């Protein structure tokens, strides 16, 4: 487990990594296709036109040694991770590319980023929940799962 002190040291690294990854996705990704745009609006994403999707062979993990170790130790990103939302940038693993269920799940996280006010507030709450409660039992993750199940049972 990660202590509260370690969490506070890791959080700025996680925020910087997330911001850097979002920039890559926004530059290289594609806009939401019309069905996903409709889903984003239904979910309550305030700025769906800003969202970009990037198809990747696997979800990247941080290079920073301490952050990488924490990510691997907690399992927040693993070989089984199929999507990762970094505010308006969403990585989707190529074997799930444009799957409506995973896209809806990740768009629910985009709505959470907007609702909470950006990278810092979102990551502080989401990562803390995942570390203390566990993924996928964390309330924010459960919310995204619920949205996905309601729209694509």
**Which pLDDT value is given to residue 137?**
94
User: Quick one: pLDDT at residue 75?
Assistant: 87
Whole domain around residue 101: which residue ranges?
4-151
- Asked whether residue 7 carries a pLDDT value surpassing 80, the answer given is yes
When divided into structural domains, the chain yields a total of 1
> Which residues in 61-80 are b (16+ Cβ under 10 Å) and which e?
bbeeeebeebbeebebbeee
Per-residue pLDDT tens for 117-153? 999 999 999 999 998 998 889 999 999 999 999 998 8
Q: What is the pLDDT of residue 9?
A: 94
Edge-first strand listing for the sheet containing 83-86: 30-31, 52-56, 89-93, 83-86
CA distances from 1 to 31, 69, 117, 148 (A): 37, 12, 27, 29
How many other C-beta atoms can be found within 10 angstroms of the C-beta atom of residue 5? 8
Q: pLDDT tens across 13-70, in order?
A: 999 999 999 999 999 999 999 999 999 999 999 999 999 999 999 999 999 999 999 9
What pLDDT is recorded for position 38?
97
Q: In the chain, which ranges are continuous DSSP H helix?
A: 4-28, 34-43, 65-74, 100-116, 119-132, 139-151
């Amino acid at each position: 487990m990660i202590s509260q002190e370690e969490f506070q040291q890791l959080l700025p690294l996680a925020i910087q990594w997330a911001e850097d990854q979002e920039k890559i996705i926004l530059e290289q990704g594609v806009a939401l296709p019309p069905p996903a745009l409709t889903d984003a609006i239904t979910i309550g994403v305030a700025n769906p036109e800003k969202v970009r999707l990037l198809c990747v062979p696997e979800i990247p993990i941080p290079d920073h040694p301490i952050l990488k170790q924490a990510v691997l130790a907690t399992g927040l990103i693993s070989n089984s991770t199929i999507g990762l939302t970094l505010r308006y940038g969403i990585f989707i693993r190529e074997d799930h590319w444009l799957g409506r269920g995973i896209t809806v799940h990740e768009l629910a996280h985009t709505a959470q980023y907007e609702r909470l006010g950006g990278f810092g507030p979102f990551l502080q709450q989401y990562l803390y929940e995942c570390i203390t409660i566990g993924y996928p039992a964390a309330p924010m993750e459960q919310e995204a799962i619920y949205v996905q199940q309601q729209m694509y049972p």
